[in-house]
Amino acid sequence: MIENGTSHGAIVAEVSRGLVHLHGRFYGRGPTQAKTYALDDTVMCMLAGGFTTVERTLIDDGRSEDVERIRRSFQQAMRERFTGLVEDATGRSVIAYMSQVHTNPDMAVELFVLEPAEEGLVGEREAELLDPA
């Protein structure tokens, strides 16, 4: 649990759902898969699927760099919405946000670094090690 009493599972699920929703709302199509990891002061969401028909056409035509450039611009335009989502889910401030897209296979990663806290978000593996039960 973190300070606001929200479980690790609820945090990562909220981030995954929220990022998929934002991609779908602003691109017209969202990722088909998302998995979020949270460890200490880092939150990372892996997204798969979701290129639009136009983007897929450009990729198939060998113009992946154009799609990657547009996606990077989109991520910068969405910075406040994405970081706000993570801040709401974790109860902590985001001090850095990075995004990367990969066209083959169709993947993206959203990476958030949180303001250091005395007790960071504990990842699943670490939680298992810390739990004496």
Q: What is the pLDDT of residues 12-21, one digit of tens each?
A: 999 999 999 9
- Domain boundary assignment for the chain: 8-127
* C-alpha to C-alpha distance for 88 and 14, rounded to whole angstroms: 9
Q: Are 74 and 25 in contact (CB under 8 A)?
A: no
Name the strands in the sheet holding 42-48, side by side, starting at the edge strand that comes first in the sequence: 33-39, 42-48, 107-114, 94-102
Name the 3-class secondary structure at 3.
coil
Exposed / middle / buried, residue 34 (Cβ in 10 Å: 0-12, 13-18, 19+): buried
Q: What is the pLDDT of residues 92-127, one digit of tens each?
A: 999 999 999 999 899 999 999 999 877 655 555 555
User: In this model, does residue 128 exceed pLDDT 90?
Assistant: no
pLDDT, position 30: 86
pLDDT-based confidence at 5, cuts 50/70/90? low
Name the 3-class secondary structure at 53.
helix
User: In this model, does residue 9 exceed pLDDT 50?
Assistant: yes
Residues whose CB is less than 8 angstroms from the CB of residue 29 and which lie 6 or more positions away in sequence, other chains included: 23, 50, 51, 52
Higher pLDDT, 130 or 38: 38
Longest dimension (CA), the chain: 55
Q: What is the pLDDT of residues 41-72, one digit of tens each?
A: 999 999 999 899 999 999 999 999 999 999 88
Question: Which secondary structure element, helix H or strand E, spans residue 99, and what is its range?
Answer: strand 94-102
